[in-house]
Amino acid sequence: MARLLWELPKPVYFMGRQWNGVDIANIVTLTAIHLLSLMAPFHFTWSALWLAVALYFVTGVGVTLSYHRNLAHKSFKLPKWLEYLFAYCAVHSLQGSPLEWVSSHRIHHQFTDTENDPHTPTKGIWFSHVGWLFDYHKRFGSYDGRLYNVGDLEKQSYYKFLHYTYPYHCVACGVVLYLIGGMPYLVWALAVRMTFFLHITFSINSICHIWGNQVWNTGDLSKNNWLIGLLGHGEGWHNNHHAFEYSARHGFEWWQIDITWYMIRFLEIVGLATDVKLPTELQKNKKALSNKANSIEGRFETKVK
């Protein structure tokens, strides 16, 4: 089904732009899980809540550790069985396949906060938050032109398999949750959990490029935002990340909570994570904002609508 949707022969033109199968599927899917989430007050149980919290951590760290720091930036290495396990956990976040997620993110870093950025804040907070998901043409240009920058992952049959089947895994998860715990598990452990983490991830693209503080000379709009850092397993320390894209650690200060880094560090201690990349003090000193460099933020703020 995913492949058929992605390969619709012709786009539909509406409201001055083209829409393809992915755009339509994203609208339908996001609308459905938001509507299902609205049923949460009527299907509350403590077991459903705690299962949602547990899966929020498992699937959320799957995205931040696997999709982001491991696959997109190669910040560290894992044994293949563990790498694949974390990627599979990420699939259940409903944020797309590893190939598409990594491709969009690499484009974001290549063209940060410019017109070619898939979720550029220069087109407004709505677009950078979620509107970009409904514009496949903006993200990839065309179906044939997609995924040009993930050749390293395309060579692995496992990731190609997940690319074409990931919606089925999310549906299967919903079926299993319903069979185990009925509507409370379906509503809380699937819909509420997915909806909440989707908006936290979306906020990294929108809020963390508008509100927060900059401590590094990145030449872009990236900001450190403590709330998104806390709720997003460490991803909210976004200015830190843009300053040192390769770093496995995003929360550099002791008070910058970075759950994903704690997990990576644990895996390193037990010998499962290797080649863990971190910036040196010399690299940090070169990137640190001076008083003169503070004007960077002001120059870019004028671009945000």
Pairwise CA distance, residues 179 & 171, whole Å: 12
Pairwise CA distance, residues 296 & 305, whole Å: 17
CB atoms within 10 A of CB 60: 25
Pairwise CA distance, residues 28 & 12, whole Å: 16
| Tally of domains within the chain | 1
Is residue 7 in some structural domain?
no
Is 22 in contact with 147 (CB distance < 8 Å)?
no
Pairwise CA distance, residues 220 & 48, whole Å: 41
Task: Give the per-residue pLDDT at 110.
Answer: 93
Per-residue buried b or exposed e for 197-210, using 16+ beta carbons within 10 Å of the residue's own CB:
bbebbbbbbbbbbb
Task: Give the per-residue pLDDT at 294.
Answer: 42
Task: Give the per-residue pLDDT at 113.
Answer: 94
Q: Indicate the length of the chain as a whole number.
A: 305
Is residue 11 in some structural domain?
no
Is residue 196 in some structural domain?
yes
- Calculate Rg over the CA atoms of the chain: 19
Task: Give the per-residue pLDDT at 292.
Answer: 41
**Pairs from 225-228 (Cβ < 8 Å, separation ≥ 24):** 226/256, 228/200, 228/203, 228/204
Is residue 83 in some structural domain?
yes
Is residue 6 in some structural domain?
no
Is residue 75 in some structural domain?
yes
Task: Give the per-residue pLDDT at 134.
Answer: 86
Pairwise CA distance, residues 229 & 220, whole Å: 19
Task: Give the per-residue pLDDT at 20.
Answer: 73
Is residue 3 in some structural domain?
no
Is residue 12 in some structural domain?
no
Tens digit of each residue's pLDDT, the chain (305 residues)? 344 444 454 666 665 666 677 888 889 999 999 999 999 999 999 999 999 999 999 999 999 999 999 999 999 999 999 999 999 999 999 999 999 999 999 999 999 999 889 999 988 999 999 999 888 776 666 555 678 899 999 999 999 999 999 999 999 999 999 999 999 999 999 999 999 999 999 999 999 999 999 999 999 999 999 999 999 999 999 999 999 999 999 999 999 999 999 999 999 999 999 999 999 999 999 999 864 444 444 444 434 44
Q: Tell me the residue range of the domain where 168 lies.
A: 17-301
Task: Give the per-residue pLDDT at 296.
Answer: 41
